Structure 1
Amino acid sequence: MKNLLVALDLTQEEIEIFKSIPDVALTVKKQSEVTADDVKDKHIIVGNINPNLLESAANLEFLQLNSAGYDNYIKKISDKTVLCSSVGAFSPAVSEHMLAMTFSLIRHFHMYRDKQNNKDWSDLGKIISVENSTITVLGLGDIGKSYAKKVKAIGASCVIGVKRNISEKPEYIDELYTLDDFEKAVKKADIVVNVLPSTPQTVNLFDKIHFDMMKNGAYFINVGRGDAVDENALVQAVKDGKLSGAALDVTRHEPLDKNSPIWSEPRILLTPHVAGWFFLQETKNRIVKISSDNVRAFVTGQSMRNVVEH
């Protein structure tokens, strides 16, 4: 019998899904309410509990995260503990958020909202179109692929993908590069979108040097990790007109510091890390399925989904 803690806010129907798994003793708690006492005897934990609590989880054999990212947990668990992510749960929500940001930026919707609030009936001039544009997507995981498919279907003339390792090129990607050739991919793009996870190679990937090499008037979107961007360099690139605008769903420090110049730059569209999470019910449905399937596979010795090598 394995002691299982599911640290998610579940409905009774969702609880029954986990109860149906054989040979587990189930405990369900909200993530924010989990304590060190709750984890000390658990063999399996589902959910992104406070990483520091894992120091008390001496019996932990399997950790299933409800996020696609896992960098905050790698150093907190034994190398013998199985770690799985929830890659595949977030692509509908996050890719549509990225698409909404794309159109908001190039159509100036966020700035027109400012004008509406000020009863200002004036235009903001020229725009660009997704159709016939070049869009570079950094990170071709589930989310990046979903966004790339969408903009290609809308009519982008060239969709460039950047990933850590070159593999077979999907049909909706026109050009494919590794991070080593990152500069080639961003120089020609009208819109650059970052969906990369945080690694030593991606910290400050977008700095003054790389913003300067982007096409004059290009747009930048970041839904990956906040530490990929030198935020002062980004603000300056927008203020100087090097970039026509930017959209951020993630920042280096969250919540964003009240004194950050990002708040007051009208051509930067900011959302408070809400592209994913559970705001879309389908996201939660997918997380429950991935998690319950993996727990069932773990206790019955079957193959598991989204295993993270660590």
Structure 2
Amino acid sequence: MSECILNALPLTDGERAQFLAAAPGVEQRFVPLMDDGGLVAPLPDPAAAEGATVVLGCLPPAVLSASPTLKWLQTWSAGVDVYLKPGALPDGVMLTSAVGAYGPSVAEHMFAAMLTLMKRLHRYRDDQLAHRWGDLGQVKDLPSSVVLVVGAGDIGTSFARMCHALGARTVGLKRTVCPPPDGLDEVHTLDELDAWLPRAEVVALALPQAPETVHIMDRRRLFLMKKGSILLNGGRGSAIDPEGLNEVLSAGRLWGAALDVTEPEPLPADSPLWDQPDLLLTPHVAGGLHMEGTREQIVAIALENLKRYLAGEPLKNRMK
């Protein structure tokens, strides 16, 4: 079977030329379905996917699941949960992700939120809007802090490197122990979470969606956290029990928290979390294409994998 590539990535003219050069003589259909803000557009004509053996981008499973020709899907997302569900892709289809593209963007967002909370900048902003002038007292010091990164993958390790560069002690938790990567002083397994929560000044969540990560930070674990510590979430909103978080914040147990993801999402207008003064909320904007470098990395990952695919070499970020 001859190859047919459907490319839904947001490409510059130069990048499109690179894909054409990487697959000479191969039919390539360019149907961009993501705009510069990372918003996804619907496939204008489902017939555009007919006969495609390779799809670069994130098409709806309903379009892909019945494809008799599809052999490989390269997503523009790091998470591929929707494509791992039974029946989402035809049997035997390879699945690769854009893991590695979003780490810097999400990590910088989490780092900025952490420092905002540590230095009480959110409270000073509130005072500015209320025309109040006053000293809010002591602030937190990152170099003297233990930063616990729960989910030490691409995003987690990128965040840890930033904290480590300023002198924090960084500890990563993941499913399996490995030699500590650059930026992490120690790596332990996730089953040590309870032991580390009372010891960390900062707990940063960068977990993928999985049955075992849903409400991993439940009420019990939220109250296990060190008094006066900070909670960050840049992974999946389902990792935190929202009722438990509201309770622990209302009790004054935490210095503060910052969420770029929530459960549910969007956060309902009547959620009490909106009114927590020491909670920073952003509407899932840490990733996406808010940094130009993210888009460039997504394109670079897809282009390298396309070259590997056509050369019969193992693909990077293989998820299935």
With normalisation by structure 1, the TM-score equals 0.95
- Partner in structure 1 of residue 60 of structure 2: 50
Q: Are residue 246 (structure 1) and residue 257 (structure 2) matched?
A: yes
Whole-Å separation in 1 of the counterparts to 2:194 and 2:221: 7
Q: Within 5 Å, which residues of 2 pair with 1:260-271? A: 260-271=271-282
**Residue among 56, 66, 70 paired with 1:60:** 70
**Residue among 21, 30, 38 paired with 1:28:** 30
Contact 1:88 1:142 in 2 (8 A): yes
- Partner in structure 2 of residue 231 of structure 1: 242
**Residue among 47, 71, 74 paired with 2:81:** 71
Q: Are residue 84 (structure 1) and residue 96 (structure 2) matched?
A: yes
Cα drift, residue 282 of structure 1: 1.0
Q: Are residue 193 (structure 1) and residue 204 (structure 2) matched?
A: yes
Q: Are residue 4 (structure 1) and residue 5 (structure 2) matched?
A: yes
Whole-Å separation in 1 of the counterparts to 2:265 and 2:47: 28
- Partner in structure 1 of residue 37 of structure 2: none
| Superposition RMSD in Å | 1.5
Higher mean displacement: 200-209 or 29-38: 29-38
- Partner in structure 2 of residue 110 of structure 1: 122
Letter in 2 for 1:297: R
With normalisation by structure 2, the TM-score equals 0.92
Q: Are residue 155 (structure 1) and residue 167 (structure 2) matched?
A: yes
Contact 2:67 2:90 in 1 (8 A): no
Q: Are residue 134 (structure 1) and residue 146 (structure 2) matched?
A: yes
Contact 2:151 2:174 in 1 (8 A): yes
Letter in 1 for 2:144: N
Cα drift, residue 47 of structure 1: 1.1
**Residue among 273, 278, 288 paired with 1:277:** 288
Instruction: Determine helix, strand or coil for the equivalent of 1:18.
Output: helix
- Partner in structure 1 of residue 108 of structure 2: 96
Contact 1:159 1:174 in 2 (8 A): yes
Percent of aligned pairs with the same residue?
36
Whole-Å separation in 1 of the counterparts to 2:51 and 2:228: 56
- Aligned in 2, Cα 1:154/1:227: closer, same or farther, shift over 3 Å? same
Cα drift, residue 67 of structure 1: 1.3
Cα drift, residue 84 of structure 1: 0.6
Contact 2:259 2:280 in 1 (8 A): yes
User: Deviations 1:173-227 (Å, cap 9, x if unpaired)?
Assistant: 2332211111112220001000010111100101110011110111100001011
Higher mean displacement: 128-137 or 117-126: 117-126
Whole-Å separation in 2 of the counterparts to 1:168 and 1:248: 29
Cα drift, residue 171 of structure 1: 5.7
Q: Unaligned stretches of 5+ in structure 1?
A: none
User: Deviations 1:205-250 (Å, cap 9, x if unpaired)?
Assistant: 0111001111011110000101111011111111110111100011
Instruction: Determine helix, strand or coil for the equivalent of 2:215.
Output: coil
Whole-Å separation in 1 of the counterparts to 2:248 and 2:28: 52
Contact 1:249 1:272 in 2 (8 A): yes
4+ aligned runs moved over 3 Å, structure 1:
none
- Partner in structure 2 of residue 183 of structure 1: 194
Letter in 1 for 2:27: A
Cα drift, residue 111 of structure 1: 2.1
Cα drift, residue 55 of structure 1: 2.5
Contact 1:177 1:185 in 2 (8 A): no
Instruction: Determine helix, strand or coil for the equivalent of 2:220.
Output: helix
User: Deviations 1:51-101 (Å, cap 9, x if unpaired)?
Assistant: 332224332110001111111111211341111111111122111111101
Cα drift, residue 124 of structure 1: 2.4
Whole-Å separation in 2 of the counterparts to 1:30 and 1:112: 43
